Amino acid sequence: MGVGMNVSDIKAIITGGSSGLGGACVRHIAELGGKAAIFDIEKNRGEALAKEIGANVTFVETDVTSEDRVKASIATATDFFGEINVVINCAGIGDASKVYSKSRGPFDLSLFSKIIQVNLIGTFNVIRLAVESMIDNEPDEEGERGVIINTASVAAFEGQIGQAAYSASKGGIVSMMLPIARECASYGIRVMTIAPGIFDTPMLSLLPDDARKSLEAMTPFPKRLGKPSEYAETALHIIGNKMLNGDVIRIDGAMRMQ
């Protein structure tokens, strides 16, 4: 883990932590001796994962778009662990729709708004309230109080047709990172973003097999879907490497969306 935070000292909140990328982070942190609070709207799945892993993990039902719910959830996690020093934002939704479709007409504006609300505004909502909590943490010898990791996507850079809303939400996450990191530097809080390529998550499982195979073929090497555990390993490296701050790490096997 280098000179950064030891895994055993991690007290994390992980949004979207009941499955997929977030679930992998919960498992990885707990297996290495850290503590994690699952923030998710999926109550049954989140409670089941927390029960499966055991004492170092708790589930807090959370809607990331709600100020009151996130405030209450952070207070619950802080009471449970004593403090929160890591945030990993994985909560997100996706959908595909053209700006104009001959069969459906113009892009449904309510769908566009929902994707922005969950992916972008939800991420910012958690960041701002977590920073408020982390500021009270006791700093380490270099002044670090916490680490925030957000989840973008390669679609932030090379969105495909039909991904206008999703790309906008993930592009916003990338764009707001640097000003937030610059501000949070004075608080001793680092802010990073991971931009995954095509990963084997529940969101992707909704696609038919031929579509999944087509996406796999787009990745130069390794020619397969990313594993959620590889996302989790990247997040743990960020936590442990203090020089990683204010930047985006792509984990995509050199894929560039066509």
Least Cα distance to 172 among 185, 153, 190, 189 occurs for 153
E strands in 102-145? 105-106
The structure tokens listed for 194 are 């991971």
Q: Which position among 100, 166, 187, 231 bears the catalytic label?
A: 166
Active site residue 187: no
Across the beta sheet with 11-15, the strand order is: 57-61, 35-40, 11-15, 86-89, 146-151, 189-196, 248-251
User: Phi first, then psi: what are they for 182, rounded to 5°?
Assistant: -65, -40
B/e letters for 41-53, b = 16+ CB within 10 Å, e = fewer, are: bbeebbbebbeeb
Return the active site residues.
166
